[in-house]
Structure 1
């Protein structure tokens, strides 16, 4: 039986070969930590990374471990090192097929929650089947690697089709909204905030962070602001008596009611308002 998975808003990557950074990442304000065995690890430090990740010692936030793609020479060694390790989810780099997901479970000897990192053109060929495979609990968008694979710029415009496709297929598969890819700039919070706001408006459920300074602006973008919470509370209060009602000059119907409920479910200021 899969352990319960709670989709994060701002999961923070930390290199697996830098165990001295694990605690700092865990107390950065991120609502999950991604211990990375893939891109962030120096080629000559993979054994150290696996050992460090296997003994991570993090217990105050959910732990996600990113492993190398199934096509990588490092894939089987990654999974072998994790057979007896406790973690909350595994992120599979360059996930492309449902068979990739089944192979992860076979090599681990158990079923675990898997975040499918979608970052190649091939992944979109049978994306619906990939995201419906048992064990997949969410998708994440690997914008930089996908742009490299496609030979395009990793701009919002160039990858808009692929973001939309990932959002649509995640919804049809009954999964939580996917995680947006990284912003490479970390010393300009406004840039991170703008990227995160654009992702939130599009329907993403969170955004991958690569530096502790990115965590706060990402969370700010994805959590409802005070105005939205106030509106949602007034909507649910207005429908208590039943019948057609208006809020702020707009008729309140089922889509608006559901939107209000979603806003309050993501807010820490839900209170006792219930419909």
Structure 2
């Protein structure tokens, strides 16, 4: 099943993590970095290790501290080999070498590196998006960290981030990675704004979104599932391709070739998730 909803929870709140695992998110992201105060880092790591000693009922990723810092190194050493870990999210990645380093360090202690996900949160990271996306087979996805990037660039209007967003979408596609997951919408009360933002993100090529609160999850899921009209159009494309393979025009004037058929099949696959 294609994950559409990814819920961040602070690693030093195990009671909140337990609720998050049962709240309906496709993936839970336990945050050991920005969401945890310095004096709570060790406790958060220990609580997360306890959670991941056995596989939870949903995939759980962990956003570790910067891997080349002592805190990040300790996070990797404690968590990378645990059976309940589905992915490591690496913050503020600026080079391919950082991904290779984490993959090699992890593989030295377990049979292969865990799935890695790079968060690009600086101008340098975005500029090197393709090199990072192709850095190592263990890397399974890239995404933007928009709060830090917005601050670094001095962007005041949301449209100012559209170029970095498109840059990351293109880099992921060029590297044969899944479409990036959209960054969080920070106002957890503004569900109408979240829906509009999701529609914009979807138009740019994102698929799914990270959330800060369970109330955001249904809005994100609806926004990223195909509409009835999109499903009808995709079914027409697939039917036409089954009757006459190769490039052709549909009665409504749309031109159908192999790429359009592949996109239609992706739409129908995603629709089955919602059904």
1:1-275 correspondence runs (5 A): 8-56=3-51, 59-86=56-83, 87-108=85-106, 109-110=109-110, 111-134=113-136, 135-153=138-156, 155-242=157-244, 244-268=248-272
Does the 8 A contact of 2:188 with 2:216 survive in 1? yes
- Change in Cα spacing, 1:267 to 1:49, as seen in structure 2 (3 Å) is same
Q: Distance in 2 between matches of 1:236 and 1:192?
A: 32
Tell me how far 1:188 sits from its aligned partner.
2.2
Change in Cα spacing, 1:121 to 1:23, as seen in structure 2 (3 Å) is same
Preserved contact between residue 12 and residue 208 of structure 1 (Cα < 8 Å) = yes
Shift in alpha-carbon separation, 1:269–1:136, aligned structure 2, 3 A? closer
Instruction: Spell out, residue by residue over 1:222-256, the C-alpha distance to the aligned partner (whole angstroms, 9 max, x if none).
Output: 11122211221122123322164515343433333
**Per the alignment, do residues 250 and 63 of structure 1 end up closer, same or farther by CA in structure 2, a change over 3 Å counting?**
same
Kept in 1: contact 2:194–2:219 (CA 8 A): yes
Moved more, 76-85 or 103-112: 103-112
Shift of the 270–9 alpha-carbon distance from structure 1 to 2, 3 Å rule, reads: closer
Q: How many residues align?
A: 265
Alpha-carbon contact 1:235-1:247 (below 8 Å) kept: no
**Mean Cα deviation higher: 88-97 or 246-255:** 246-255
TM-score, normalised to structure 1, is: 0.89
**Counterpart contact for 1:67–1:93, Cα < 8 Å:** yes
List alignment gaps of at least 5 residues for structure 2.
Answer: none
Partner Cα separation in structure 2 for residue 233 and residue 255 of structure 1: 15
* Residue-by-residue CA offset, 1:110-154 (whole Å, 9 max, x unaligned): 41111100101121343222110111110111011111122323x
Q: Cα 1:84–1:240, aligned 2, differ >3 Å: closer, same or farther?
A: closer
**Structure 1, gaps ≥5 residues long:** 1-5
CA–CA separation in structure 2 for the residues paired with 1:126 and 1:250: 37
